[in-house]
Amino acid sequence: MKRNSRMPGFYKLSVADRRRAAAEALGIDVAEIEAAVEDGGLACEKADKIIENVIGTFSLPFAVALNVQVNGEDFIAPMVVEEPSVVAAASNAAKMVREGGGFIAEADDPIMIAQVQLDEVPDGARACTRIHQHASELIELGNHAVPGLCRRGGGVRSIEARDLGDGMLVVHFHVDCRDAMGANLVNTVAEAVADRVQELSGGRTGLRILSNLCDRRKVRVTCRVPTWALTTDGYNGGEVRDGIVRASRFAERDPYRATTHNKGLMNGLDAVVIATGNDWRAVESGAHAYAARNGSYSPLCVWRADGDYLVGSLEIPLSLGTVGGPSRVHDGARMGLRVANARTATELAMVAASVGMASNLAALRALATEGIQRGHMALHARSVAIAGGAIGADVERVAQLIHGLGDITVDAARRALADLAIAANSAPPPSE
Ligand code: NAD
């Protein structure tokens, strides 16, 4: 079924109506959505089987980003995140990107790296040569350890030995993990080949584990946003475009800014990673190592002007899976994967990276114009209203009051709530 991720007014609906609208757009039975996401998507008995010392579960909001178009196809991106305005900002920016044809994404094959460390190698150069001479044998040995993966078209593709000096050597096994994130698969390969690698090197085996710097599994996304689509109250599109380009150049020169620039990107990307049950620590460590690959921490996404367009380009290593990991047991993660509707892990990575790019664009657009606080604080006011004791319809009333006062504090929320209660008690009874 061809999906449409444009759903104007979605944000105004109740949670129940949003579920119905999403179910219809996704072709999923609404009862299945309800069952999967109610109570955080994970029963305590299951949680107790996943990790150790469990005393409960911990929920986060599950939302969807709209307007996302990747390579001409619509995606409704699942997002799990606790920070206000991330989902709205990503959806809004995705709409601007859509005006220029959406995100154009491409990705490497899903190749992960298994590392085998060797110590006390007597002759590093000779060991590297011997290991490369026995590449076919080692690849076969590695593949023997992951028959299921090989049956699905994955497996060890190549090897690379590097002399790290002082008798230390590392051998990389490049493993195509197909639709798996791959950590366990790759670790299995590393352990299976270690003895033979040790023999060939004449040294002693050390660690045997994947590298989270999966720089053979990168996603590249570009977008062209027409300048007019960037217009805000008080700023024309050209001013916004140039402000975003200046902000990008700032991040390219300054690691302090680049860190926050990338944080804005990871806001959206991580939310998709978490919603689909993927390992966000793996994604984070890989992304930041890659951002620092040239010796100075840099932005993962850069922005330039091209005539009447703002052009963004992002490159990021991304190890996501649509099989294995928590998706086997976590109902919420399974629903996240169904909502994302990606045909492969590679496609899921392209969608997640596109949402990351949308988040980056939204943050830079706000920063380059009115600043980020106005929109952010309007949404933050709702959380503060809840912390001040507001429930139901009072949340929005209190949020608007404290936002209007410019005093978004729990004390102000309590006072506003008390004022609302007094006003309600002294109001005349409703007429019939
Ligand atoms: P996994 O152990 O669940 O293995 C994936 C399984 O899915 C394999 O048995 C494979 O044969 C099967 N499979 C079915 N269909 C497939 C398809 N189309 N493509 C590929 N495989 C298919 O999961 P994994 O991906 O090997 O490991 C991911 C888990 O490992 C995550 O939970 C992660 O948190 C964890 N982990 C991460 C690290 C790290 O990042 N440093 C280290 C250890 C473990």
What is the average per-residue pLDDT within 160-180? Answer: 98
Q: Which residue puts its alpha carbon closest to atom 42 of ligand 1?
A: 183
- How far apart CA 54 and CA 94 sit, in angstroms, is 38
Predicted local distance difference test score (pLDDT) of residue 371: 72
Q: Among 111, 149, 189, which residue has the most ligand 1 atoms within 8 Å of its CB, making it the best to mutate?
A: 149
- How far apart CA 409 and CA 97 sit, in angstroms, is 35
Contacts 24+ apart (CB under 8 A), 153-162: 153/178, 154/110, 154/178, 154/180, 154/185, 156/189, 157/109, 157/111, 159/131, 159/132, 159/135, 161/127, 161/128, 161/131, 161/132, 162/128
Q: What is the mean pLDDT of the chain?
A: 94
- How far apart CA 86 and CA 96 sit, in angstroms, is 16
What is the average per-residue pLDDT within 133-152? Answer: 98
CB 160 within 8 A of CB 171: yes
Classify residue 347 by its DSSP letter: H
pLDDT above 80 (res 56): yes
Predicted local distance difference test score (pLDDT) of residue 426: 64
28: left (phi over 0), alpha (psi -120 to 50) or beta: beta
- How far apart CA 111 and CA 33 sit, in angstroms, is 33
What is the average per-residue pLDDT within 213-230? Answer: 98
What is the average per-residue pLDDT within 31-46? Answer: 93
Kindly tell me the burial class for residue 420, based on how many C-beta atoms sit within 10 Å of its own C-beta (0-12, 13-18, 19 or more): middle
pLDDT 10s digits, 184-210: 999 999 999 999 999 999 999 999 999
Dist. CA 77 → ligand 1 center (Å): 22
Other Cβ atoms closer than 10 A to 164: 13
pLDDT above 70 (res 375): no
- The strand pairing partners of 2, in sequence order, are none
For residue 286 the two structure tokens come to 């890989």
Q: Model confidence at 39, in pLDDT bands (50, 70, 90)?
A: confident
What SS3 string covers 84-107?
CCHHHHHHHHHHHHHCCCCEEEEE
What is the average per-residue pLDDT within 245-259? Answer: 98
Which is the closest atom of ligand 1 to the Cα of 326? 32
Classify residue 384 by its DSSP letter: H
Burial 386-401 (b: 16+ CB within 10 A, else e): bebebeeebbebbbeb
Q: Which residue puts its alpha carbon closest to atom 38 of ligand 1?
A: 183
Distances (CA, A) of 237 to 204, 243, 377: 61, 10, 24
Which is the closest atom of ligand 1 to the Cα of 328? 3
pLDDT above 90 (res 3): no
pLDDT above 90 (res 382): no
Q: Model confidence at 403, in pLDDT bands (50, 70, 90)?
A: confident
pLDDT 10s digits, 74-125: 999 999 999 999 999 999 999 999 999 999 999 999 999 999 999 999 999 9
- How far apart CA 225 and CA 357 sit, in angstroms, is 12
Type and span of the H or E element at 132: helix 124-133
What phi, psi does 52 have (nearest 5°)?
Answer: -100, 160
Q: Among 323, 346, 347, which residue has the most ligand 1 atoms within 8 Å of its CB, making it the best to mutate?
A: 323
- How far apart CA 128 and CA 347 sit, in angstroms, is 36
Q: Model confidence at 431, in pLDDT bands (50, 70, 90)?
A: very low
325: left (phi over 0), alpha (psi -120 to 50) or beta: left
pLDDT 10s digits, 274-285: 999 999 999 999
Find the residues whose C-beta lies inside 6 A of ligand 1: 148-149, 152, 154, 177-185, 210, 212, 279, 282, 321, 323-326
pLDDT above 80 (res 429): no
User: Degrees (nearest 5) of the Cα angle 193, 195, 200?
Assistant: 95
Predicted local distance difference test score (pLDDT) of residue 199: 98
pLDDT above 50 (res 73): yes
pLDDT above 90 (res 68): yes
Predicted local distance difference test score (pLDDT) of residue 432: 47
pLDDT 10s digits, 316-374: 999 999 999 888 899 999 999 999 999 999 999 999 999 999 999 999 999 998 776 66
Q: Among 49, 109, 115, 185, which residue has the most ligand 1 atoms within 8 Å of its CB, making it the best to mutate?
A: 185
Which is the closest atom of ligand 1 to the Cα of 279? 34
Q: Which residue puts its alpha carbon closest to atom 36 of ligand 1?
A: 183
CB 171 within 8 A of CB 116: yes
Dist. CA 324 → ligand 1 center (Å): 5
Dist. CA 321 → ligand 1 center (Å): 7
Cite the active site residues: 83, 263, 279, 376
Please give the share of the chain, as a percent, with pLDDT higher than 90: 87
Kindly tell me the burial class for residue 379, based on how many C-beta atoms sit within 10 Å of its own C-beta (0-12, 13-18, 19 or more): middle
Burial 216-250 (b: 16+ CB within 10 A, else e): bbbbebebbbbbebbbeeebebebbbebbbebbeb
